């Protein structure tokens, strides 16, 4: 509960191409990094994606852990995020929404 009082969630808009995901192309055993501007618009809940130039692929470490920098639950040093048009917004949550977030805490 202290976490919810000190570190409120932040919504971060990451421009396409500014993050990479580790994927395993279909029919291959080798994982490779691809930038997000090469991904299709949909990632399935099972971690299946379409990668331009590779075809179908699976996220190597699942939907929440395959990014190079921005993974679910991982801390992010916002001072190190640099791109031409940063978009950073603080989410304004109701008390009920803050309480609902507790189910995601370790």
Q: Is residue 37 scored above 70 in pLDDT? A: yes
Matching residue, tokens 């309480």: 99
Q: State the average pLDDT over residues 16-28.
A: 91
- Written as six digits, the tokens of 86 are 């940063």
| pLDDT tens digits, one per residue of 55-65 | 999 999 988 88
Range in 26-30, 37-41, 86-90 the model is least confident about:
86-90
Could you tell me the pLDDT band of residue 5, with boundaries at 50, 70 and 90? Answer: low
CB 76 within 8 A of CB 7: no
Question: Is 2 a residue whose pLDDT tops 70?
Answer: no
User: Which of these, 104, 103, 106, 101, lies nearest to 5 by C-alpha position?
Assistant: 101
Rounded distance between C-alpha atoms, residue 31 and residue 22, angstroms: 6
User: How high is the mean pLDDT of the chain?
Assistant: 77
pTM over 0.75: no
51 vs 58: CA distance, rounded Å: 10
- pLDDT of 66 higher than 60: yes
**Inter-residue long-range contacts of 72-79, CB under 8 Å, 24+ positions, other chains counted:** 73/104, 73/106, 76/12, 78/10
């Amino acid at each position: 509960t202290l976490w919810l009082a000190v570190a409120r969630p932040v919504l971060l808009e990451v421009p396409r191409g500014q993050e990479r995901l580790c994927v395993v192309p279909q029919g291959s055993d080798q994982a490779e990094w691809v930038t997000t501007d090469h991904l299709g618009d949909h990632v399935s809940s099972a971690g299946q994606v379409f990668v331009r130039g590779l075809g179908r692929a699976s996220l190597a470490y699942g939907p929440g852990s395959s990014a190079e920098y921005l993974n679910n639950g991982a801390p992010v040093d916002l001072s190190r995020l640099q791109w031409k048009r940063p978009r950073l917004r603080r989410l304004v949550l109701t008390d009920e929404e803050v309480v609902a977030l507790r189910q995601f805490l370790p």
